[in-house]
Amino acid sequence: MKISFLLQNAYGIGGTIRSTFNVAGALAARHDVEIVSTIRSGDKPRLPLHPKVRLVNLIDRRAEKGADRDHPLLAQDSKHVPPVEAKGAHFSALTDERVAEHLATTDADVVVATRPGLVMYLAEFGQDRYLRIGQEHRIYGTHEPTIRACQDAAIPALDAHTTVSEADAATHREQFPGIRTKIVCLPNGCPPSEVEPSDSSAKLVVAAGRLIPVKRYDLLVRAWETVAATRPDWKLRIYGRGPELAKLRTQIDTLGLNEAITLMGAHSPIETEWAKGSIAAVTSREESFGMTIVEAMGCGVPVVATDCPHGPGEIITDGEDGLLVPVGDSDAIAKGLLKLIEDDELRRAMGAAARTSAQRYAPERIADAYLELIDSLGGPRTAATPDADAASAPAARPAPKPAAAAPKPLPLAKRLRRTVGKLVRPLRRRPAAAPATAQPKKAQKATAAKPLRPVASCRVDADGNILVSVQRKGASGDKLTLTVTRRKEGKPVEVPLQPAADGRGPYTAVLDRTALRLGEGRWDLHVVRADDKARRRVVAHLAEGRGLLGLEPLPGTPFTWWVPYPTVDGYLALRAWHREAHAEARSVRAADDALTVEGTLYGVELTTDDTPAVIGTPRGDNAAGVTVDVETPTPDTFRFTLPYERLRAAREGDEAVTWDLALRTTAGAKPVRIARLTGDIVDRNKTDLYPATAGVRPYFTVNSDLAVNLAAGTDS
């Protein structure tokens, strides 16, 4: 059986894409599965896709090399999808044409449409020779009225329509009494997490999703003001991007929560970030399902969620694997979070229960539910001509409206190819012939010469070492070595790559932080094969940094710190810092008239005879340096306050000036740069942000060093 999923754009990271990829992969283990992406916006999907799932693109809109990016029909409105839906999904007259052609010629046995516009297309252009199933990923009453009306008109023309919650399925059945279309609940599929689950020890709450009004992250920020006042040692991270970003940034700045809340931006895969937290937060006013809830639970993280329609209450068992709180109530959200923050045993117990509960949404189970639905609809239909399909259509189902440009009848040659395809596809799934007992030398040489395509995951262990696991597939050959190479330097450092004892598992390597000395900078990982000197960069699968959250730097000097991460183009890399000594900025607080910084020293200690000071070195020649005294509560901690008047007095003229800050332990000593390096974040300049107060703004540079900027035109 061939099953085809229609997606708007398979190259994003949204919940519909994730759930479709997950279920398609599970179905591909038993059937022929394809995903048809209406629009192609990238070279490859950003989410992992099962290798047996075929990806088909209808319109190529890639920025530089997309074949359709200048097609004239892109500028013309769709005639079959209402403007609000068409604008949001980038549907056009070209979409009308390409989707109609695809639905007229597909050899699929089942076609599943995953958003309203695609449901409308399936009702309009779909054929009775295959089953037509629509999906609803929102809640019935939440669509814009014209979208709702058009989708309501389309649903009776389908064989089945699915929702992601039982409550919404009931609502749909009430709205469509007497139709033949079968309406059932099929939740989103979420695979078991591959990451090391949370141990509930990190003082961190995590939230993730699109930064849009319905998610009500403003309530979460307001609730965190209460949490931070009671437990300032706990932090909140919000992952995602969207139109509410600027408002949230302003709200955080206004409440002075810059050190308590971090806006992390988008991150994929998100599982590595869920596992870093001890609690997850969902504060939406509505959730049709709650993919993030299941993902967090699968990582062993209990969720505090608003009991909104419809998903959270069907996923979470209140008091057992999470907490449900009233919708729109920031005080209740704060109370729920504090309940788990203050009770370590309850938090751990709920995390374990959450991980078990998430197994209900394994893609294999959802795939089984899809197959049961298909069987209940009579199973795959025998391929037939469009005329025969029309004659056999159920009388009670309204016929689709005639299209403005109706697809042409399927040519005989294509009908024959489709029929042949149905006969050939099962043959492709036959087991391969058993390998011969011995290979010719020429075949052995060809096997050894397979190109390297290394894919690896990494994890930070309790000692701060980075454990690298290279998948066996893609790392063929003998005498393989892992190398780490600093960018712009080109001199690799070799690390032994060990094969699995059973000969089937992954290759492993250990980057030992006590033995390996890596200079400051960014390092790329490669696999090298000795036989033919092949060298390939390692593709990142998972980069787990949970072990960095509570980790302390090695004692003594030099100070070193490593953070593994996936690059923007998908490779595994390492950010390393290596300094004779380091002053870690634990807290940065910008008041109305001064900047106060507290921190910890590494690689050097202060004594009672020392006279430490903070030195501000200006960039450029339009200002003098500034110096302020430093308090030393303990030999390895420091605190200083930099009045803004010092900066204004040091400036010559009214141009903007930036000072780099360093701590001088005693007169004549080399200053130690103040920075924020420990933890799991690679680029502090993108996450640890502060507002400008009286024209003065502290910030972290690209190297995560602390600097302070005085804006142009500000005076005393």
pLDDT of residue 611: 87
pLDDT for the residue numbered 502: 87
Same fold, 2-190+365-392 and 204-359: yes
508 and 498 Cβ atoms separated by less than 8 Å: yes
Give dist(CA 488, CA 510) in Å, integer.
24
The pLDDT of residue 476 is 85
pLDDT of residue 440: 52
Positions in the chain whose pLDDT score sits under 50: 383-410, 412-414, 416-417, 420-421, 423-438, 441-448, 716
pLDDT digits (tens, 9 = 90+) for 26-69: 999 999 999 999 999 999 998 889 999 999 999 999 998 999 99
Which superfamily does CATH assign the domain made up of 2-190+365-392 to? Answer: Glycogen Phosphorylase B; (3.40.50.2000)
pLDDT in tens, 468-477: 999 999 898 8
pLDDT of residue 715: 65
624 is written with which tokens?
């003098």
Could you tell me the CA-to-CA distances from 626 to 542, 597, 611, 646, 698 in Å, in that order?
Answer: 44, 15, 16, 7, 15
CA distances from 709 to 346, 617, 657, 661, 683 (A): 45, 11, 6, 11, 19
Percent of the chain scored above 70 by pLDDT? 90
The dotted CATH code for 204-359 is 3.40.50.2000
Does domain 450-579 correspond to CATH entry 2.60.40.10?
yes
Q: Would you state the structure tokens that stand for residue 378, as one six-digit string?
A: 């009579």
pLDDT for the residue 490: 80
**Sequence-ordered strand ranges (E) for 293-376:** 303-306, 322-325
Structure tokens given for 593: 């008239």
Task: Quickly name the fold that domain 583-710 has.
Answer: Immunoglobulin-like (2.60.40)
Ranges of each domain in the chain: 2-190+365-392, 204-359, 450-579, 583-710
For 398-544, where are the alpha helices, taking DSSP H only? 412-428, 441-448
Confirm if 524 and 511 have CB atoms less than 8 A apart.
no
**Which token pair is 57?**
């693109």
Q: Quick one: 556 exposed, middle or buried, by C-beta within 10 A (0-12, 13-18, 19+)?
A: exposed
Reference 370, options 533, 186, 536, 518; nearest CA is: 186
Edge-to-edge order in the sheet of strand 466-470? 507-511, 466-470, 455-460, 539-544
- The C-alpha atoms of residue 397 and residue 178 are separated, in whole angstroms, by 10
Residues 621/671, Cβ–Cβ less than 8 Å: no
Q: What is the pTM of this model?
A: 0.84
How far is Cα 471 from Cα 453, in angstroms, rounded to an integer?
9
Q: CA-CA distances (angstroms) from residue 164 to 49, 137, 187, 191, 669?
A: 21, 6, 4, 16, 64
Q: What is the pLDDT of residues 327-371, one digit of tens each?
A: 999 999 999 999 999 999 999 999 999 999 999 999 999 999 999
Assigned token pair, 264:
């992390």
- Between CA 190 and CA 648 the distance in angstroms is 55
For residue 382, the model assigns a pLDDT of: 55
pLDDT at site 41? 95
